[in-house]
Structures are given as C-alpha cells and as structure tokens.
Amino acid sequence: MDLVIGPVDYNGLSEVTSILGRTRMVISPLEPKAASLLDTNDNIIQSPVGWARQVDVMVEWLEQETSLGDQVIVIRDASLKGAGEQSSYLMDKLSAAGVLFRTVNSIKDIQNIKHTHYRVLIASDDDSFITKEVKEIGIAASIHNNITLYSTSRFRNCVGPDVFDLYTANTRMAATYYVDYDSEAVKRFILEYRSIFQSEPGSFAFQGYDIMKYYLSAYSSLGRRWFTKLPTFPGSGLQSDFIFSTKNGDGRENTAVRKVVYSPDLSISLR
C-alpha cells in the first residue's frame, strides 16, 4: 500500500482519508487532534503526539523523581475557562497513579516553602493562567531553590518569549518536539540546509525531514503491509522520535515523547 503525507489540518485529513479509502495509507504530519480519526479510519497514521500522552509521560516522570519527604503540589485553576478537558485528565491521571498531592490556587499559597522539595504541576486549560503561574513558580524557585515544575509542550507555547521563566522554574517538560543543537546530526543538517537554501532551518524544516526519512525508511524496509509493522521499527529524528505500540490501539499512533530539562543555569538537556 502506498502512502500519502498530509494534509496538515484536521478537515483536510478527514476528507482525504474518506476519498482514498483503503487504497492509500495517509500520514497525519502535524495535527495532534487528528488522533480521533483513528477510531473511524483504518488508513491513517498519527505522527504528532497528543497532549494526553504528554501528560502520561509527565506524571510517570514525576513519580520517578519524587523522593520520600517531597511534596507534590497541584496548582488548580478553579475558573470555568481553566477547568477543561486537559486539567481534568491530569487530575484523574494523578489519582489513578496513586500520587499523593495537595491542591492550591497559587504557588503563593504555600507557607514555609523552604522546608522540603516541592514538585509542582499546573492543572488548567487557560493559557494566561499557566503563563502567570509559571512566572510565579520561577520567582519562588529562584529564591528558595527547592521547586521543580512538571509540564507539557503547551507550557512552552504559553510563555512565548518569556522562556526564561521555564529555566528559573527548573522545568521538566514532556515535549512532542525538541531540537538538540549540540547533536552532530543536527549540526550536519543545518550546514547542508544553509548550503542549499541560503537560510536557517525552522521547526517545519526539521519536522518535514524527520517525517519523510522515517516513513520512507519504513515503507522501503518493512515490505508489504509495512504500516502493520511500525511497532517493530522505532526511529529517532532531529526534532522528534517515533515509537508505535499495540499496547493502546493497533499501533498506528506515535507515542514517542522527549523529556526536556530546563535548568536554572540556562542550559537545556534531554533525559
């Protein structure tokens, strides 16, 4: 079966999968919401990792790093705008995992903050609330040096140019995309891109390269019904990774998440 990469939007993907039927396998390259199409279409592969998987990895990471005596704090947005699908999923995930935590309205509500290590999550669907709390957490962490913030890619989009707040908050981020500019493979790609296009590669350039390389490699290496064998064919790209599993579903949804650490010394590392 041949493959088609794109369209990039939900409506376009829905239309194309209906038109092509089972004659082509369609790759969803950029739209996280397109994961819902997997339930009704068996000819689509979801490449971008959705927010729910990021939350799963974030909570697992929190569990791994929490030591005896640490306190897990959930800053919960009680507003109508903030109490949405993602915040509810986070709360359910924490409860299901048996994580002991207490909720507050703001990091400012914590008294005697210097007496233990605080591992903090923000349960909100309101970008402005997230931005405000990340800044407040960063301020508190820079004063007391005993706070770690756990987040998803959404937080990076929320803070925008104020990325400094992620560093001061000692942030752990479960991220869909991240480019390690110290990687030799990334350095080679940038040099080759510059020589061809006379400009710097952006996020879409890295993503396009990763998608084309991975899926064309799978298509040429795995033989007939290549798309059913993706769980046996993990891949690592410049900006994103590819891990398909039959643990949840039939192996057509990418579950690879990069663990990114923003440190107070303004360094970024992968775990």
Q: Do 61 and 167 fall within a single domain?
A: yes
Structure confidence at residue 1 (pLDDT)? 64
Stretch 229-244: mean pLDDT, rounded? Answer: 95
Mean pLDDT of the chain: 91
Quote the percentage of the chain above a pLDDT of 90: 70
Q: Do 252 and 217 fall within a single domain?
A: yes
Q: Do 88 and 150 fall within a single domain?
A: yes
Counted domains in the chain? 2
pLDDT at 21 over 80: no
Domain encompassing residue 123: 52-175
Q: Do 57 and 161 fall within a single domain?
A: yes
Tell me whether residue 68 is in a domain: yes
Mean pLDDT highest for which of 23-27, 83-87, 228-232, 258-262?
258-262
Structure confidence at residue 248 (pLDDT)? 61
Tell me whether residue 201 is in a domain: no
Q: Which residue has the higher pLDDT, 75 or 161?
A: 75
Structure confidence at residue 19 (pLDDT)? 84
pLDDT at 268 over 80: yes
Stretch 172-199: mean pLDDT, rounded? Answer: 95
Tell me whether residue 185 is in a domain: no
Provide the 10 A C-beta neighbour count for residue 238: 22
Q: Do 62 and 45 fall within a single domain?
A: no
Stretch 116-133: mean pLDDT, rounded? Answer: 94
* 129 Cβ contact list (under 8 Å, min separation 6): 77, 79, 81, 82, 122
Confidence of residue 135 (pLDDT cuts 50, 70, 90): very high
Tell how strand 268-270 and strand 241-242 pair up.
unpaired
Tell me whether residue 116 is in a domain: yes
Q: Which of 115-119, 172-176, 189-193 has the lowest mean pLDDT?
A: 115-119
The CATH number of the domain where 64 resides is what? 3.40.50
